[in-house]
Each structure stands twice: as structure tokens, then as C-alpha cells.
Structure 1
Amino acid sequence: MFLTRFRINTARMGARRLLTSPQSLHAAVMASFAERPDHQGDGPRVLWRLDQQSRSEVLLYIVSPGRPDLTHLVEQAGWPTTGGWQTKPYASFLTRLTADDTWTFRLTANPVHSIRRHAAEPTKRTAHVTPRHQLDWLLQRQKDAGFAIVEHDEPRPDGLPGAWHEVAVHNRGDLSFGKRGETDDRAHQVKLTRVTYDGRLRVTDPDALRRTLTFGLGKAKAYGCGLMTLAPAE
């Protein structure tokens, strides 16, 4: 496994095209591998995420089973003479994860749930739109994902009852774009919601957390969702 970071040059035309089209950016990420990874099997998949530090600083993170070559991204959306990318082996970090360790984390995800108005109606996948429901979506998955978000006994900053979880839900984005099917040329409209979570977690099941970090969490992984990264907690 490898973890890669690439800074996007937002002043370039190619960068603006990639940043406004999740499908184009997904294709560019997948083109980083000489042999296209197989997402149908049981192995880890390619995950990616955009982090916008500021208007002019946008970072692309990629977790992948193989080492990527981002030469084409540097040429389209980077600094061809002075810029590049950084790739580090990820397996050694993953093997060091231990129960009860505390880390800060960032996750961009697609928090959705299935609903129907009556029993005879097929279920429909619908995005959670409020921060409270988006947080609940993550809390419902933390046990199976191998972690627990740090809680505090003090009163919540928002004055509401219940535990105060050390996590912020922010940077919601509603995306809508056309996608062509694999078996025909018709364009299908794709709509999804992306949300970013920043907080602190405690490792409860290292093996399950390793799977979360390499397989992703939730839906829409092809469009920049599901990638969780960890950093040392202060």
C-alpha cells in the first residue's frame, strides 16, 4: 500500500477542469497506474480525496495498492519544472496501529441512507443534509470501522443534550454531473453530497481500522469519498 500527496496548481486550465469534474479526476487518478486496479475483487482499492487548504492550495491524496505515476497530472495541473508528488509506503504505518491509540483524523464521505414512503415502494438512496444527521451517519459506523470518536463529559458547545464528540462536520458540497454508462453512450445524471469530518478518534479494532483506511468508508468512492487519513494527536 502507498499514500501519495500531490499539490494541484489551481491557476492552470487543466486543474480547473479536474476540480469541477469528479469523473474526470477519477479517470486521471486511475490513469496513474499502468495496469488498471480491479475494484471487483476482495483486495484494497484506490481511494482519493481533495483537501482545500485555501483558495490557492488544493491537495490530492491517494491511497493505493500500487505505486502511482502522476506525471500526467503534473503536466496538466501541476508545476512541470518545479513540482511533483510525494509517495510513501503505507503498510508499515498500518501495521503499527494499536488498540487505544489516539489519532486525529480527516474523512470526506457521502453520508446517505435508504428511505421509502410505504412498504410497496422501492428504497431510494438519499443524502443526509443536516450536520446532526451527517454526524449520526458516522457514529453509526464507527464500531464496525474499528474506531470510536473521542467523547467528552462536559456540556456540549451547542447546548444540546447528549455526548460531545470531538469532531467537526463541515465543507458540505452538493455535486451534479453527467456520467456515461459502460455499455452505452447515454449520459446519466449523478448527484451526490460530500461532507468532510475532522476530529479525534481512539482505535478500538486495529484490523477493522486498517480495512477502513484501505477499503474506504461509505459510498461514492470513485468520486473522492471514503478516504480517511490519520495524523498524530496533539
Structure 2
Amino acid sequence: MYLTRFRFNTNRPGSRKLLSSPQATHASVMGGFPGLLPGDPGNQGEAGAPRVLWRVDRNARAEVLLYVVSPTAPDLTHLVEQAGWPAAEGAGWQSHDYGGFLGRLEAGQTWAFRLTANPVHSIRRKDGEPTKVTAHVTPRHQAGWLLQRQEACGIEIVRRPVDQQLIPGEDEHELVVHGRDASGFDKPDPRSGKRGNGRMRVPLVTATFDGRLTVTDPDALRRVLCAGLGRAKAYGCGLMTLAPVA
């Protein structure tokens, strides 16, 4: 596995085009893997197997970073030419072998983490109707979505001491939900035919989670880090990254 980082040159039109469309960013990321054919979602095997994951972090107006986790190292030359600094020395992308880090994960370790996800649940509005996938839209319910998946992910979100909880009972964990977005995006409408130019709206609700976790099951956590968490992985969701606790 490899972890790759690329910084967008936000002054370039190519960057603005990519950052306004998860579909365009997905296509550009997939273009970095010669072994993937157009339209391939990037899944390298059965469900839960390692796959291509990506995430955009907007840390500041001039610091927008793309992270990619993948079974093979990508070639992002086209991305540098479109949205980076083609003539600047050392301003391309950096890929690192992820396997050594993954192999050193152990139960009891504490890490800072970031995850951008598509928190959804299935609901049935009345008896007899099929269930419908619906997005969580409030920070409380989005946080609850992640907390419900702790055990399956092999982690435990660190709890705050009672005297540090701003809202007792609702601020129990070291977890912040931000960067919430429900704008969705447009893509070609397949119903318009080969010559049609119709567009359709794709609803997409995302949220970014920052917090601290303790490893409880290293193997389960490794699967999450390599295969992603939740839905909409093709649109920049599901990639969790870890960092040392400051």
C-alpha cells in the first residue's frame, strides 16, 4: 500500500475545476494508475479489500491537499500539469510506502485521526415500504454515525474528562465534526442518450471528522485504512488517516 500527497495550486483554473467536482477529481485520481481502465471504480478485489481511496483537505485557502491511499504508487504527472506547479522543483507529489506504518499498529496506541465520510442510514417512513438510504445532516447524528462504528473499525474514540465537556452527555468524545457539505454535484444524465447534453443532480452529503482514537483491533483498523469506511468512496469519502498525537 502507498500513501500519496499532492498540493493543489489554487490559482490555476484546472484546480478550481477539479475542486468543484468530486466526479472530475475521481477521474483525475484514477488516471494516475495505468492498470485501471476508464470507469474502473478502483476496487482491487472483494468487498473489504484494499482499493484506491482519496480525500481533499482544505486546510486554508492556499493549502488544499489531496491524499490518496492505493495498492500501487500513482503517477500524477497529469495532475501536476493541470493543477500544480509543473516547472517548480520538488512541487510534484510525494508517495510513501504505507505498509511499514500499517504493520506497526498495535492495540492500545492512541492516534489523532481525520476522516471525510458520507454518513447515511436506512429508514422506512411507513410500514410496508422499502427502506431508503438517507443522509445524516446534523453534527450530532453525523458524530453518532461514526461512534456506532467504533467496534467494527477496531477503534475507540477517546472520551473527554467530565470537567472538559462543554455539554455533558453530548460532548463526551474528543471528536469534532466540520466541513459539512450537502451541495452535491452535477453529472451527465444517461437518460439523455448518446447525443444528449442533459445533466442530473447527484445528492451528496459529506462531513469531516477530526479527533483522537485508541486502537482496539489493529487488523480491523488496517482494513478500514486500506478499504475505506462508508459509502461514496469514488467521490472522496471513506479515507481515514492517522497522525501522532500532538
Report the TM-score when normalising by structure 1: 0.94
Residue in structure 2 matching 1:104, options 112, 125, 128:
112
Show CA shifts across 1:137-176 (max 9, x none): 0000010011000012314533232661011111101132
Question: In 1, Cα distance between the equivalents of 2:96 and 2:166?
Answer: 40
Residue in structure 1 matching 2:66, options 40, 60, 64:
60
Contact 1:155/1:164 (<8 A) preserved: no
Q: 1:132 to 1:101 in 2, by over 3 A?
A: same
Please name the residue that 2:150 is paired with.
142
Contact 2:53/2:68 (<8 A) preserved: yes
Unaligned runs of at least 5 residues, structure 1: none
Once the two structures are TM-superposed, the CA of residue 188 in structure 1 deviates from its matched residue by: 4.0
User: Relative to total residues, which structure has the larger strand share, 1 or 2?
Assistant: 1
Residue in structure 2 matching 1:75, options 81, 101, 106:
81
Contact 1:110/1:218 (<8 A) preserved: yes
In structure 2, what residue type is equivalent to 1:84? G
Residue in structure 2 matching 1:41, options 38, 45, 66:
45
Count of aligned residue pairs for this structure pair: 234
Matches within 5 A, 1:161-200: 161=169, 164-180=172-188, 185=194, 187-200=199-212
Q: 1:89 to 1:187 in 2, by over 3 A?
A: same
In structure 1, what residue type is equivalent to 2:32? S
Question: In 2, Cα distance between the equivalents of 1:40 and 1:105?
Answer: 25
Residue in structure 2 matching 1:212, options 224, 230, 241:
224
Secondary structure at the residue paired with 1:225?
A: coil
Question: In 1, Cα distance between the equivalents of 2:219 and 2:207?
Answer: 25
Secondary structure at the residue paired with 2:137?
A: coil
Contact 1:49/1:227 (<8 A) preserved: yes
Question: In 2, Cα distance between the equivalents of 1:79 and 1:177?
Answer: 27
Secondary structure at the residue paired with 2:203?
A: strand
Question: In 1, Cα distance between the equivalents of 2:107 and 2:169?
Answer: 29
| Residue identity (%) | 59
Unaligned runs of at least 5 residues, structure 2: none
Please name the residue that 1:117 is paired with.
125
Please name the residue that 1:10 is paired with.
10
In structure 1, what residue type is equivalent to 2:132? K
Question: In 2, Cα distance between the equivalents of 1:60 and 1:101?
Answer: 26
Secondary structure at the residue paired with 1:125?
A: strand
Secondary structure at the residue paired with 2:73?
A: coil
Question: In 1, Cα distance between the equivalents of 2:150 and 2:218?
Answer: 12
In structure 1, what residue type is equivalent to 2:122? S
Report the TM-score when normalising by structure 2: 0.90
Q: 1:90 to 1:181 in 2, by over 3 A?
A: farther
Question: In 1, Cα distance between the equivalents of 2:131 and 2:189?
Answer: 22
Question: In 2, Cα distance between the equivalents of 1:227 and 1:122?
Answer: 30
| 168-177 or 180-189: bigger deviation | 180-189
